[in-house]
Amino acid sequence: MEEFDGEPTVTVRGPRTWIPGVNSQKKQMCFDWGPGEMLVCETSFNKKEKSEMVAGCPFIHIIRKDIDVYSKILRKLFNESHGIFVGLQRIEEELTGKSRKAQLVRVSKNYRSVIRACMEEMHQFAVADKDSAIGRQFSSQVSILSAVELIWNLCEILFIEVAPAGPLLLYLLDWVRLHVCEVDSLSADVLGSENPSKHESFWNLVTTLVLQGRLDEARQMLSKEADSNPTSAGMCRVLGDLMRTMPILSPGNTQTLTELELRWQHWHEECERHLQDGTFASNPHLESLCKVLLGDDAALLEHKELLSNWYHFLVTRLLYSQPTVKPMDLHLYAQSSLDLFLGGESSPEPLDNILMAAFEFDIHQVIKECSIALSNWWFVAHLTDLLDHCKLLQSHNLYFGSNMREFLLLEYASGLFAHHSLWQLGVDYCDHCPELGRVSLELHIERIPLTTEQKALKVLRVCEQRQMTEQVRSICKVLAMKAVRNNRLGSALSWSIRAKDAAFATLVSDRFLRDYCERGCFSDLDLIDNLGPAMMLSDRLTFLGKYREFHRLYGEKCFVDAASLLLSLMTSQIAPRSFWMTLLTDALPLLEQKQVIFSAEQTYELLRCLEDLTSGRPLCGEPDAQQLQDDDIETTKVEILRLALARNLARSIIKEGSLEGS
C-alpha cells in the first residue's frame, strides 16, 4: 500500500466544522466513518441541473472524532486512570458493607486526584503560553477538567459516600471550598499588606470566609479589625462569639440530629435578637455578616459576586438555614437556589443541568447530560463503571441488548484504538466488558495500522493470549504480504507459516525457487533449514524444505542419500513440473561421479521423467528469435542429460551384473 509522505492536515471536529478549500454551497460532499476518523471529499456531482465539470478540491480530508487522545497531557490522564480502572475490576465481590464502600470511595478519590494532577499541569502550560492559541486551548481544557472534577466530587458525595443528613452538609462544604478557591489568593493578598484591616479587599475576604463556613479564619480576621479600630472592638467580639458558638455536627461528635437542631435553633434566635437590638447597626459590614449568619436570602444575594455560582449559594444557604438537610430534600433547595441566583436574567448552562440532575439523584440523567456536553467518553465511561460497582446501575439496560456500562466503556475504548499507542489500553477495557467486549475487540484490532513489526508483534500477542485465531491469521497475512512487496521472502514465509496459510506459503515458496533459479543460491538458509514440521503446511513448502536438504546432503558428500532424495522428489510428484529440468540438471554431477550413484532402476526412472518432460511441451506458433535461442539451450540440456543417463545406465548395469556374477 502506498504511504503518505507526511502527516495529513487534521481538522478538529466542532459543532459546525469548516473544511478548508471545500465549498459545500456548490459541491456535494461524501463521507465515510472509520474506527476513529471520518474521510470527507467532494463528489463529481453538481447541484445545478446541468452537470458541469468544475475543478474542485482534490484532497480527501480526515476529520478526527476523538481529538483528546492526541493531547500529550490528557494521555497521562488516560494512562493513569487505566491503572485505577483495572484495579477496580479486581475488587473481590465478597467484600461487602463498610470495607467495600471504603474501597470504592478510595477509588473515586484516586480518579479525582488524577484529574487534578492533569489539570494543574495543563494550567502551567496555559500560563506559560497565555497569549497564544495553544495557551487559550489549554485554558479551555483546564475549565473542562475543573467542571469534570466538580461533577465527579458531587457524585462521590451523593452516590458513593451516600452521606446522611448532618454529615452531608460537611461534605458539601468541603466540595465548595475545594472548587471555589479564589479566597486563598485573596487571603494571601490581604494578610501580606502592612495593615490588613485597611486593605480594600478586607471585608470581601471576611465575607467570603463566612460564606464558605470558614468561621475560625473569619474570627481571626475580625480580631485584626478589633485591634486596629477600638470603636468596633465590642461588635467584633460579639459577632466572633456568635461564629464560635455556631453548632456544627463535626465528624467525631456523638450528638444526635435532634440535639443539633435544638442547639442550632437557640443559636439562630440569638443571632436574630442581636440584629433586632441593633448591636451591629453602627457598622454596616458587621450587620451584613450577621444577616448572612441568619441565612437571609436577600443578604446572601447582595454578595452574589463573591458567591460566584449558584451551587456555592446553595451550600451557604443550607449552612445557615437548613444544616440538617436530608438528601431527599436537596433537589428542592437546589432548584430554588438556581432560580434565585439566576433571577431570570439567564438560562442554566449545561454544567448547571448536570449538577441539578445529581441533586435530584437522577444518575442516568447525569450520564446523559455529560455525554452530550463533554468532548470525549472518558468521564462518563469511568464514572458509570464506578457507579455500576456500587450496584446503582444494575437495572438499566439499553434497548439494543447491552448495558449502559458496557456501551460507554466500549465507546471510550473505540477512541483509544484510533491512537498509535493508546490502543493497548483499549484492549483492557474490552476485556472487562463480558457481553460485547470480545466482539468489539475483534473488530477494532483488525483495523490497527501495523506500521512497524514491533507493533505487529504486540498486536499478535494480544490476539494469541485471547485465542483470536482468525485475527492472528489476518494480521499474519497482512505482514506476509508487506514482506513479499519488500522482497523479504524469509519474513514473508515466517508470517505465512504463523498464519497457517497454505496458499500463501505456496506462493512464497515459489518465489524462493524462482530466486534460486535466477541466482543459483538460496536466501534465508537458517529459516529453510529449520522449518521442521511447518514444512507440511503445503506441498510446495515441503518441496522447498526437501530440496534444500538435497543441497545440504550434496554439500556433505552424502551422494547416495542425495540421489535418493532427488529421485523421490520427482517420482512422488511433489516437485512442480516446471522445476523438473532444474532437478534433472542437479542430477548431472551425480551421474558423472566416478562411483556409480544411481542404480539402473533409478536411472530408468530419471529417463522416464525426462521423456515425460520433453514429450509434454506444448507446440507454439511462429517462434521469435529469443524463443529459438531458448529452445536451442533446452535441446542441448536434454541431449547432455540423455547422454549422461545412458552412460550411467551402462555403468550401473555392468556394476550390478558383476555383483550378481560374483
Q: Are 301 and 323 in contact (CB under 8 A)?
A: no
C-alpha–C-alpha distance, residues 137 and 119, integer Å:
13
List the beta bridge partners of residue 46. 27
pTM listed for this prediction: 0.77
Residue 79 banded pLDDT, cuts 50, 70, 90: very high
- The pLDDT of residue 228: 87
- The pLDDT of residue 45: 59
Calculate mean pLDDT across residues 395-409: 72
Non-local CB neighbours of 647 within 8 Å, separated by 6+ positions: 591
pLDDT at 2 over 50: no
- The pLDDT of residue 27: 64
List the beta bridge partners of residue 30. 41
pLDDT at 175 over 90: yes
Choose between 188 and 510: higher pLDDT: 188
Chain-wide mean pLDDT for the chain? 81
Calculate mean pLDDT across residues 250-264: 81
Q: Are 168 and 197 in contact (CB under 8 A)?
A: no
pLDDT at 541 over 90: no
pLDDT at 590 over 90: no
Amino acid code (one letter) for 276: Q
Q: Are 365 and 357 in contact (CB under 8 A)?
A: yes
- Range with lowest mean pLDDT among 220-224, 373-377, 626-630: 626-630
pLDDT at 1 over 50: no
Residue 612 banded pLDDT, cuts 50, 70, 90: confident
C-alpha–C-alpha distance, residues 409 and 377, integer Å:
8
- The pLDDT of residue 194: 84
pLDDT at 49 over 70: no
DSSP state, residue 23: -
pLDDT at 579 over 70: yes
pLDDT, tens digit, for every residue of 403-441?
889 999 999 999 898 888 889 999 999 999 998 899 999
pLDDT at 457 over 60: yes
Cell (9 digits) for 521: 543460491
Residue 331 banded pLDDT, cuts 50, 70, 90: very high
Q: Which of 487, 565, 574, 573 is nearest to 538 (CA)?
A: 574
Choose between 17 and 653: higher pLDDT: 653
Q: Are 229 and 285 in contact (CB under 8 A)?
A: no
Percent of the chain topping pLDDT 70: 82
What H or E segment, with its residue span, contains residue 38?
strand 37-46
pLDDT at 591 over 90: no
Non-local CB neighbours of 67 within 8 Å, separated by 6+ positions: 10, 12, 13, 375
pLDDT at 7 over 60: no
- The pLDDT of residue 239: 93
Q: Which of 395, 253, 272, 238 is nearest to 324 (CA)?
A: 253
- Range with lowest mean pLDDT among 128-132, 324-328, 508-512, 528-532: 528-532
- The pLDDT of residue 44: 64
Q: Are 442 and 471 in contact (CB under 8 A)?
A: yes
Phi, psi of 43 (to 5 degrees): -100, 170
- The pLDDT of residue 19: 60
Residue 559 banded pLDDT, cuts 50, 70, 90: confident
Q: Are 258 and 252 in contact (CB under 8 A)?
A: no
Calculate mean pLDDT across residues 616-645: 63
397: alpha, beta or left? (left if phi > 0; alpha if psi -120 to 50): beta
- The pLDDT of residue 53: 53
C-alpha–C-alpha distance, residues 662 and 654, integer Å:
12
Which single residue is written with the C-alpha cell 528469435? 625
Calculate mean pLDDT across residues 316-324: 92
pLDDT, tens digit, for every residue of 83-135?
999 999 887 665 666 788 889 999 999 999 999 999 998 888 888 877 777 77
Instruction: For strands 27-33 and 10-12, give the pairing.
Output: unpaired
pLDDT, tens digit, for every residue of 333-378?
999 999 999 987 788 999 999 999 999 999 999 999 999 998 889 9
